[in-house]
């Protein structure tokens, strides 16, 4: 996550100036913020059919050119729509990074939208990820700073995870949690690199008519180990929907073990660093309990 000192003010006025100077053909279109915005990027409506997306910090700016290059190549092979780049903006108006204009996609993010059948939703998402993993990964972006090392070995987060485990001593079953983490580290990825999304969360899934309609925000995508895409199993699904996802996306035990390891962030939140939201702490504790139960059940 970028340091707060790296953040800059991104508002409607800035977007209007950038559009006016770099894409005057759209200068008369109204600009307004989206209702539910993200942290890594700020997104704005541009008229009815376009969206402007600007990285909120330098560490996220590395993702712009990647998405511009690869999203059009991935889209034809996927069963659901993904973001469609229209143009790439350059630094200007005291904004220091490249930015993007996309086609606007209708739909409500799954965090806030009613879902008609959660098991069917889970199956659709698993089918999407299976198709993504099946796309030729030759030349794709390997794990690195551009995606915070998703798709690479979990050792990149070993220090933070062990700090959180020590901080949680006596508050969760840290012996079991260490077993989960150690199992994830031991289950090394031995396959060829495959495409992964990198941030499969309810905020990056669009719902239309109660069903999964699109998958957005490929900023942390890349090629490598797909285990990082399993995190949603323990944050959005449970019971039948969790099993439906697992059965539709059949992966080996090692990949599932690493997938449990990719919930290391839940440990960080549960450790209650200063400023941590209380509701997020409680949510993370529930996620940790589910991950531990999954480890006991499946090993």
pLDDT confidence band for 2 (50 / 70 / 90): very low
**pTM of the shown model:** 0.94
| H or E stretch covering 53 | strand 50-55
**Long-range contacts of residues 88-96, Cβ cutoff 8 Å, at least 24 apart:** 88/64, 89/18, 89/22, 89/23, 89/52, 90/22, 92/17, 92/18, 92/21, 92/22, 93/14, 93/17, 93/18, 93/21, 94/14, 95/8, 95/10, 95/14, 95/18, 95/54, 96/8, 96/58, 96/61
In this predicted structure, the answer to whether residue 3 has a pLDDT above a threshold of 80 is: no
Instruction: Report whether 207 contacts 108 (CB < 8 A).
Output: yes
pLDDT confidence band for 44 (50 / 70 / 90): very high
Mean pLDDT computed over 232-246? 97
Average pLDDT along the chain: 95
Which residue stretches of the chain are H helix? Answer: 12-22, 58-61, 63-74, 118-133, 158-167, 174-186, 232-235, 239-248, 253-261, 264-270, 278-298
pLDDT confidence band for 36 (50 / 70 / 90): confident
């Amino acid at each position: 996550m970028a340091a707060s000192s790296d953040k800059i003010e991104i508002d409607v006025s800035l977007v209007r100036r950038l559009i006016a100077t770099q894409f005057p053909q759209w200068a008369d279109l109204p600009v307004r913020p989206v209702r539910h915005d993200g942290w890594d990027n700020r997104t704005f409506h541009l008229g009815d059919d376009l969206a402007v997306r600007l990285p909120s910090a330098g560490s996220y700016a590395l993702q712009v050119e990647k998405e511009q290059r690869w999203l059009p190549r991935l889209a034809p092979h996927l069963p659901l729509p993904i973001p469609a780049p229209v143009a790439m903006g350059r630094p200007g108006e005291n904004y220091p990074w490249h930015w993007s204009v996309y086609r606007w996609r209708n739909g409500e993010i799954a965090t806030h939208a009613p879902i008609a059948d959660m098991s069917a939703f889970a199956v659709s998402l698993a089918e999407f990820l299976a198709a993504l993993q099946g796309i030729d990964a030759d030349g794709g972006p390997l794990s690195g700073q551009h995606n915070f090392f998703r798709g690479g070995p979990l050792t990149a987060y070993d220090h933070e995870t062990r700090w959180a485990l020590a901080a949680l001593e006596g508050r969760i079953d840290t012996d079991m949690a260490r077993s989960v983490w150690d199992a994830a580290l031991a289950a090394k990825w031995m396959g060829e690199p495959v495409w992964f999304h990198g941030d499969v969360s309810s905020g990056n899934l669009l719902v239309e008519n109660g069903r999964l309609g699109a998958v957005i925000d490929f900023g942390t995508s890349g090629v490598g180990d797909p285990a990082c895409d399993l995190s949603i199993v323990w944050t959005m699904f449970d019971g039948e929907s969790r099993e439906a996802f697992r059965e539709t996306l059949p992966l080996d035990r090692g990949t599932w073990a690493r997938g449990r390891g990719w919930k290391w962030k839940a440990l960080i939140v549960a450790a209650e660093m200063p400023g941590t939201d209380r509701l997020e702490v409680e949510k993370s504790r529930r996620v940790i309990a589910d991950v531990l139960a999954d480890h006991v059940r499946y090993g």
